Structure 1
Amino acid sequence: METTRRVLVVDDEEGMRATLAANLELEGYEVAEARDGAHALELVRQQRFALVISDVRMPGLNGVETFREMKRIQPELTVVLMTAFALEQLVEEGISEGVYAVIHKPFSMEHLVRMVGRALGPRAVLVVDDLPDVAEAIVAGLREAGLRAEAVYDGHTAIRRAREEAVDVCVLDLVMPSLDGVKTYEQLRRLSSEIRVIGMTGHAGSEMIHAFTRRGGYTCLRKPFEVRDLVLAIARARSDPGAC
C-alpha cells in the first residue's frame, strides 16, 4: 500500500490501540501499532509513515518526546496527539513545535476518522492580510513552527485560492478594502464547510468581531499577537469536533 495511507498508532493501552487500528483499517488505511514511544521510534526507523497518532501520557518516553524524536527521523511526518487531560504545558509545547492537532479522550471514532482524513490532506494554512509585510511575517512564523502556509493580500484572491486547492485553515484579517473579512468568510464557507477560519484584527470593532463569530468563525485574535498563540489556535480549530 502507498505510504500516504500508512498510519502508526502509539498507545500503551492495548485495547485502545486495537480499537483505533481496527477502525482505521476499515477505512482503508494500513495501520501499525506501537506499545510505547521507544517501540514507535523503532518502527519509524524501519519504515515510512504518513501519520502517527500517539497518546501523550505513556511510560518511558511521553508522546511529545516521542514526537520530537520521530520528527528528527522523518521531518515531514504528521503527528496527532491523544490525551485525556486538559490542554497542558507539555501538549502546548508539542503544538508549538508542529503537532498537527490534539484529540481529547474520550472521542468518537467518526471524529477520529474525519481528523485523519484532514491530516493526510493538503493541510495548507492560508493567511489573508492586505498588508503584505504582515501576512508574510505570519507565514514565516507558521513555517518555522512546522506548518505549511502561504499568504495572499485580499479577499478575492483568498476565495480564488481556496477554490483552486484545498485550504485547511484560513487566518483572515477582518478589516480589508474591497471585500472585508466577514464577507470573505461567508464566501469561503459557501465553497467548503470544512474550512476553519480564524479571524485577526487590530482595528475591527466588537460588532464586526461578533458578526464574524456568529456566522461560525472559530475565534478572533487581536493584533499584535504571538505566532505561538496563532499556532495554538490553529491546532485547537483542527481538533474541535464541532468544527469538523
Structure 2
Amino acid sequence: MEATRRVLVVDDEEGMRATVAANLELEGYEVVEARDGAHALDLVRQQRFALVLSDVKMPGLNGVETFRELRRIQPDLTVVLMTAFAIEQLIEEGIGEGVYAVIYKPFSMDHLMRIVARALGSRGVLVVDDLPAVAESIVAELKAAGLRAEAVYDGHTAIQRARDEAVDVCVLDLAMPSLDGVKTYEQLRRMSKQITVIAMTGDAAPEMIHAFTSRGGYACLHKPFDVRELMHTIARARSEPGTC
C-alpha cells in the first residue's frame, strides 16, 4: 500500500492503540503501532508515514516531544494528538509548532475517522487578503510553524484555488474590493461544506461581521492578531466534530 495511506498509532495503552488501529484498518488504511515515543521514532526512521496519531501523556517522550522529533526526521509529517488530560501548556506548544489537530478522549471512532480523512486529504490553509504584504506575512508565519499555507489576494482567485485544490481551511479578509469576504464565503460554502472559513478584519462594518457569522462562518479574528491565535483557531476547527 502507498505511504499516502500509512498511519502510525502511538499510545502506551495497548487496548486504546489496538482499538484505534482496528478501526483505521476497517477504513482501508495501512496501520503500524508504536508502544511509545521512542518506538515511534524508530519506525519513522525505517519508513514514511502520511499521518501519526499520538497520545500526549506517555512514559519517556510525551506526545509533543515525540512530535518534535518526528518532524526532524520527516518534516512534512502530519500529526494529530490524542489526550485524556487537560495538559494545556503541552497542547499549546504542540499547536504553536504545527500539530494538525488535538482530539480529546473519550472520542467516538466516527469522529476520529473524519479527522483522519480530513488530515490526509488536506493541502493546507488558504490565506486571502487584498493586501499582499499581509497575506504573505501570515503565510510565512504559518509555514515557519510547519503548516502548509498559500496566499491569494482576491475573492475570485480564492474560489478558483479552492475549486482546483483540496483547501482545508480558508482565512479570509472581510473588507476586500470587487468580491468582499461575505460573498466569497457564500460561494466557497456553496462549492464545498468541508471548507472551514475563518474571517479576519481590521475595519469591516459590524453588519458584515454579523452576516459572516450568521451564515455559519467559523470565527472572526480582529487585526492585528498574533498568528498563534490563528493557529489555535485552525487546530480547534480541525478538531471539532461539527467542522469535519
Q: TM-score range by the shorter chain?
A: over 0.9
Q: Offset of 1:123 from its aligned partner?
A: 2.5
What percent of counterpart residues are identical? 82
Corresponding residue of 1:143? 143
Aligned equivalents of 1:139 and 1:92: distance in 2? Answer: 20
Q: Tell me, which stretches of 5 or more residues in structure 2 are unaligned? A: none
**Bigger mean CA deviation after superposition, 115-124 or 140-149:** 115-124
Q: Offset of 1:236 from its aligned partner?
A: 0.8
Give a deviation string over 1:21-56, Cα, whole Å, max 9, x none: 000000111101111111111211222111100011
Corresponding residue of 1:158? 158
Give a deviation string over 1:136-156, Cα, whole Å, max 9, x none: 111111111111111111111
Give a deviation string over 1:146-194, Cα, whole Å, max 9, x none: 1111111111111111111111000000111111111110110011000
Mapped contact 2:123–2:165 kept (Cα < 8 A):
no
Aligned equivalents of 2:106 and 2:186: distance in 1? Answer: 32
**Does structure 1 residue 60 correspond to structure 2 residue 60?**
yes
**Does structure 1 residue 227 correspond to structure 2 residue 227?**
yes
Change (3 A) 1:85 1:136: same
TM-score by length of 2: 0.97
Corresponding residue of 1:42? 42
Q: Offset of 1:205 from its aligned partner?
A: 2.8
Within a 5 Å distance, the mapping from 1:52-201 to structure 2 comes to: 52-86=52-86, 88-201=88-201
TM-score by length of 1: 0.97
Report the 3-state secondary structure (helix = DSSP H, G, I; strand = E; otherwise coil) of the residue aligned with 1:23.
Answer: helix
Aligned AA (2:208): M
Aligned equivalents of 2:37 and 2:197: distance in 1? Answer: 34
Q: Offset of 1:87 from its aligned partner?
A: 6.5
Mapped contact 2:84–2:104 kept (Cα < 8 A):
yes
Aligned equivalents of 1:46 and 1:143: distance in 2? Answer: 26
Change (3 A) 1:218 1:85: farther
Aligned equivalents of 1:194 and 1:122: distance in 2? Answer: 10
**Does structure 1 residue 213 correspond to structure 2 residue 213?**
yes
Mapped contact 2:44–2:73 kept (Cα < 8 A):
yes
Aligned equivalents of 2:48 and 2:138: distance in 1? Answer: 31
Report the 3-state secondary structure (helix = DSSP H, G, I; strand = E; otherwise coil) of the residue aligned with 1:120.
Answer: helix
Aligned equivalents of 1:207 and 1:104: distance in 2? Answer: 35
**Does structure 1 residue 24 correspond to structure 2 residue 46?**
no
Q: Offset of 1:2 from its aligned partner?
A: 0.8
Mapped contact 2:196–2:218 kept (Cα < 8 A):
yes
Equivalent residues, number:
244
Aligned equivalents of 2:159 and 2:73: distance in 1? Answer: 37
Q: Offset of 1:105 from its aligned partner?
A: 1.2
Aligned equivalents of 1:39 and 1:2: distance in 2? Answer: 22
Aligned AA (1:225): F
Corresponding residue of 1:204? 204
Aligned AA (1:73): I
Report the 3-state secondary structure (helix = DSSP H, G, I; strand = E; otherwise coil) of the residue aligned with 1:52.
Answer: strand
Corresponding residue of 1:6? 6
Aligned AA (1:155): G
Structure 1 stretches of at least 4 aligned residues deviating more than 4 Å after TM superposition? none
